[in-house]
Amino acid sequence: MFLPLLAIAQREELIKFADFEQWMKRDIKESGVIGGQVKTLYEIAPNAHWNDANGKLNKPYRNQGGSPWATSNIYARVSGINKTNISAYRDKHNDGYCVKLSTHVESVEVLGLINISVLASGSIFTGEMMEPITGTDNPMSKMDLGIPFTGRPKYLKLDYRVHLTGEPNRIRQTGFSKVSTVPGKDMPEMFLYLQHRTETPDGKIIAKRVATMIHKFSKATNGWVEGECFEIHYGDITSQPFYTQQMALRQGNDRIYARNSKGKHVIINEVGWADPSETPTHAVIKFDSSHGGAYIGSVGTTLWLDNIKWVYE
């Protein structure tokens, strides 16, 4: 559910780096067998050109300069082949920059060794990517999702622009099976979870869901939509009329991951709904150019984002 900005009295807080005016560049040299090109990847972080002190390329990236944002621009090393995927871009908005997320097909072809074409959606999320990526299985397990956060905002506010392809159905293309049709048109999506996390002595992360917001951008826009507010819902929302199964706790095959205090990457066990008055410990925000899960979408679906803010009443 979204509300126009003028309908509510509020205090706004820009999420760090979410005006997208600062971008860090880094270089990845792909393997010679696939051309050996040096690709430049953009990350949401302080302006810089990021390699190590000796100019070494192919350096696994972790968030820099206090930025809470990771992107789907990744360095992968699969079967000994160095490869990149670029699906999040710096783009222009008004007199500055924004982020553009786009769905496309990424291919790796090495005669006699590997031949993979994968549908890749563009994403940004709060957390870190676990580079280098070494396979295409279980993409959520490659992400450290969430950042420390104790606020209780009422809305998430943002500027956005949407392009839809007009295709009536989507495709699923994993690289290891035939391309298949998935019913329903493609559209970008965002989700937000506020969680109260605790950690057991053996390093397991236990979470209760404090608040939830999920929105699909089901209509193309005529240019930019500026300053729209999306309501964040607190507590157990399963009995609310707006509740859908996609808002459910992340359990079973739908679980997400984070790094624990021991530095180990583990499953986040969402065990229940928190009391509506609970203070969260972490915020998970994720934007995707395509919805429906990994390797599903339509080539060309695109979402532009700018000026992402918390709004407090």
Q: What is the pLDDT of residues 133-191, one digit of tens each?
A: 887 778 888 899 999 999 999 999 999 999 999 999 999 998 777 899 999 999 999 99
pLDDT of 5 above 50: no
**pLDDT level of residue 10 (50, 70, 90 thresholds):** confident
pLDDT of 87 above 60: yes
Top mean pLDDT of 134-148, 240-254, 267-281 is at 267-281
pLDDT of 239 above 60: yes
Which residue, 27, 34, 137, is CA-closest to 82? 34
Amino acid letter, 109: E
Which residue, 192, 199, 172, 189, is CA-closest to 250? 192
Which residue, 82, 41, 87, is CA-closest to 64? 41
Beta bridge partners of 258: 266
Judge contact between 122 and 156, C-beta under 8 A: no
Beta bridge partners of 277: none
Q: For 61-65, 109-113, 250-254, which range has the lowest pLDDT when averaged over its residues?
A: 109-113
Q: Which domain holds residue 50?
A: 2-312
| Rounded average pLDDT over 235-250 | 96
pLDDT of 240 above 90: yes
Percent of the chain exceeding pLDDT 90 equals 76
The confidence score (pLDDT) of residue 253 equals 82
More reliable by pLDDT, 236 or 55: 236
Q: Which helix (H) or strand (E) holds 270?
A: strand 265-273
Rounded CA separation 121/103 (Å): 4
Q: Whole-structure pTM over 0.85, yes or no?
A: yes
pLDDT of 114 above 60: no
More reliable by pLDDT, 189 or 30: 189
**pLDDT level of residue 52 (50, 70, 90 thresholds):** low
| Rounded average pLDDT over 89-109 | 93
DSSP conformational letter for 133: B
Half-sphere exposure of 10 (CA within 13 A, CB side): 22
Q: For the CA atoms of the chain, what is the radius of gyration?
A: 19
Burial status of residue 72 (CB atoms within 10 A of its CB: 0-12, 13-18, 19 or more) = buried
Half-sphere exposure of 81 (CA within 13 A, CB side): 21
What CATH number is attached to the domain comprising 280? 2.60.120
Average pLDDT of the chain is 92
| Rounded average pLDDT over 188-200 | 98
**pLDDT level of residue 51 (50, 70, 90 thresholds):** confident
pLDDT of 1 above 60: no
CA distances from 132 to 17, 33, 89, 286 (A): 24, 18, 20, 20
Show Cβ contacts of residue 220 under 8 Å, excluding neighbours closer than 6 positions: 162, 163, 164
The confidence score (pLDDT) of residue 53 equals 59
A 10 A CB-CB count for 305 gives: 22
Amino acid letter, 231: E
Look at the chain and report how many structural domains it folds into. Answer: 1
Rounded CA separation 108/181 (Å): 22
